[in-house]
Amino acid sequence: MRQPTLFSVPPKKRRPPRVMMHVIDAGDPQSYDVAYPDRCLARFQCRRCDWQTNWIAIDTITEARRGVPCPACSEAAPLFIPLRGEYFDAFVAGTKSTEFRPYGPRWNERTCPRFRPVLLSRGYSAAHRRLGLVVDFEISREPCTRDDWRACYGAQIVDVACIWIQTNEAER
């Protein structure tokens, strides 16, 4: 006969494993960016869905060997970024790779970590969406001087979250 437990603790649910992309090519950082000579360059590909990245600057070789989570296959909730039509079209055309938002509780290092999946949307409709990946994050005040920043947020000088995003070619 089994003795009853005093404190019944339900078993913890395990989260599903992340699907990781692996290095398919690596490059020399010397020719890429003189500001970061210690960073490595790598391209990643998912073995499950064949999603590929362009060249990404990685801090260490160990980080590249670990891989990065695939934004299409992983179960992580993507960062939802609604955009005006002109800016969404610029991401689709490949002329825009950085999104600027006011730094704060919604847009910061914790909510926009490197390699987090991103879902870019033309407005709030589900008709035009593009899947991407946060490649880098930085805080700056320089974008406050740009005309497109002033058109959206006015002439205020604040800290700006600069989010570098790499998009996939296929629309979702």
The residue type of 112 is: C
Round to whole Å and give the CA distance between 159 and 70. Answer: 30
Tell me, what's the pLDDT at 172? 46
Q: Could you tell me the CA-to-CA distances from 166 to 53, 61, 67, 98, 172 in Å, in that order? A: 7, 21, 16, 9, 15
- If we measure between CA atoms, which residue out of 129, 138, 115 comes closest to residue 35? 138
Round to whole Å and give the CA distance between 100 and 43. Answer: 25
Round to whole Å and give the CA distance between 172 and 118. Answer: 12
Tell me, what's the pLDDT at 88? 92
Structure tokens of 133?
A: 């990946």
More confident residue, 169 or 27: 27
Poorest-confidence range of 83-87, 118-122, 130-134, 165-169? 165-169
Poorest-confidence range of 23-32, 58-67, 102-111? 23-32
Tell me, what's the pLDDT at 108? 92
With a threshold of 0.85, does the pTM exceed it?
A: no
> pLDDT per residue over 148-169, tens digit each?
888 888 888 889 999 999 887 6
> pLDDT per residue over 66-113, tens digit each?
888 888 887 778 899 999 889 999 999 989 899 999 999 999 999 999
Tell me, what's the pLDDT at 82? 93
- If we measure between CA atoms, which residue out of 63, 85, 83 comes closest to residue 132? 83
Tell me, what's the pLDDT at 168? 74
